[in-house]
Amino acid sequence: MKRIVLALLGLTLLLTLIDGKTIHAAEQWQGVDEAVVGKFAREHGREAKKALIDTGEGDLQLFAFLMAGVVGGFAAGYCWRSLLDGKKRKDAGR
Amino acid sequence: MNRTHNFICAALAALILLPTQAHAMHISEGILPLSWALVWFAASAPFLALGLRTLAARSADDLSSKPLTGMVAAVVFIISCMPVPVPTAGTCSHPCGTGLAAVVLGPSLGVVVAAVALLIQALFLSHGGLTTWGANLFAMGVVGSFSGFFTFRLLRSCGAGPVVAAFAAGLISDWATYATTSLILAAGIRGSSPFWPLAGKIALAFVPTQLPLGIMEGAITAGMVSLLRKKRPDLLARIALKGLEGRET
């Protein structure tokens, strides 16, 4: 079973990697959000709208990820003890 | 075996680092009418509340629950925005990762990690949308997690090995997610068209892409469970194998 799973995974990845280059060159491979969801929605008079917060403009996406990293980092740092060390300290106190 | 692991790691790294355009299966912003968007928010809310409550209760007993949930959320985020081209269909889609999350954390926490992943994708990557967050959460989080978890438990209780059960869990959770997306989309866009024929047409359109991707998701889930079984069996014992340890194969 293990071998079958590994072979299946390897084959899928190989196909994906080989094909990935062609896709990028041709840019003809749509996501199913466009090829299926978008297509059926358009046929029934519904169109996807622009994202409410469009981070595709300039370096906005980079800024958004930086801010998310800053907030996440500070939150993790602030809660570090309760996340990783709290249990030990509580146990040690007993 | 080390060489195989190295090959898989290198292939995965190359896949993640390839500069491909982002594609998703999520329902985009504005596709669902507001009334349907609200219905799916309402349908997902109790499951999300249950998940948050479970997380609070579990982390009161075991502080490592929160970091573990965060790690699994990061895995689900990466897996569910990884575009995979499917040569047989000529389209791209992605696995969901919620089957794996449900096996490791349980179905209610699977909903929580899907909620976080979908929210970040909607905010920063324009995958899905904020108004369609409830619908996407219901398909990927609720249906994906619960179907994956129950498939795993059912097969384990029938005597299947954990790796085989994990493969089926990943496969079923992926296919169930896309079947639900078809139903949600058909209900939202149908207008005066009959519901079931439209839902069937949408589901059939997903088949060429999701059939192989579901198998791939099954393989990923089975591989992860196999690895966890060897390296961290305690993580699986918490939820996935709870009450079934005697049947471990």
Among A12-26, A62-76, B169-183, where is mean pLDDT lowest? Answer: A12-26
In the prediction, which pLDDT does A47 show? Answer: 83
Segment B206-222, tens digit of pLDDT: 998 899 999 999 999 99
* Nearest-angstrom CA–CA distance, B117 and B73: 6
Does residue B211 belong to the interface with chain A, where contact is any CB pair within 8 Å?
Answer: no
Residues of A within 8 A of B193 (CB-CB) are 44
B4 close contact with A: CB closer than 8 A: yes
Among the listed residues B118, B225, B235, B208, the one whose alpha carbon sits nearest the alpha carbon of residue B165: B225
Q: What average pLDDT does this structure show over A63-86?
A: 79
pLDDT of residue B16: 43
Q: Which of B238, B227, B9, B216 is nearest to B96 (CA)?
A: B216
Rounded to an integer, what distance in angstroms lies between the CA atom of residue B45 and that of residue B42?
5
* Chain A CB contacts of B127 below 8 Å: 33
Domains of chain B: 2-247 (1.10.1760.20)
In the prediction, which pLDDT does B32 show? 93
pLDDT of residue A25: 41
Q: Give A32 or B201, the one with higher predicted confidence.
A: B201
A36: nearest CB among B12, B129, B206: B206
Chain A nearest CA to B74, separation (Å): 12
Confidence of residue A2 (pLDDT cuts 50, 70, 90): low
**Which among A23, A56, A84 has the least Cβ separation from residue B20?**
A23
Strands of the A30-31 sheet, one edge to the other:
A30-31, B91-93, B84-86
How far does B46 lie from chain A, in Å, by closest CA?
A: 25
| Band of pLDDT at residue B3, cut at 50, 70 and 90 | low
Q: Residues B32, B35, B36, CA angle at the centre, nearest 5°?
A: 50
> Of A39-43, B184-188, B238-242, where does mean pLDDT reach its minimum?
B238-242
CB B236 within 8 A of CB B68: no
CA-CA distance, B214 to B207, in Å (whole number)?
10
What's the pLDDT band for A24 if we cut at 50, 70, 90? very low
Overall average pLDDT of the A84-94 stretch: 55
CB B228 within 8 A of CB B235: yes
| DSSP assignment string, B186-245 | HHHH-TTS-HHHHHHHHHHHHHHHHHHHHHHHHHHHHHHHHHHHHH-HHHHHHTTTTTTG
**pLDDT above 50: residue B129:** yes
The count of other CB atoms within 10 Å of the CB of residue B107 is: 27
- Interface mutation target, options A15, A16, A53, A57, chain B, most CBs of B under 10 Å: A16
Q: Residues of B with CB below 8 A from A83's CB?
A: 63, 66-67
pLDDT of res. B20: 41
How confident is the model over B43-98, as pLDDT tens digits? 999 999 999 999 999 988 887 888 889 889 999 998 888 888 888 788 888 899 99
Report CB contact under 8 Å: B23, A33. yes
Which residues 93-152 on chain B approach chain A with CB closer than 8 angstroms?
Answer: 93, 120, 122-127, 129-131
Q: Is pLDDT at B15 greater than 50 in this prediction?
A: no
Cβ–Cβ under 8 Å, residues B138 and B114: no
Q: Please name which of B68, B62, B80, B79 lies closest in space to residue B109, comparing C-alpha atoms.
A: B68
* Cβ <8 Å between B188 and A5: no
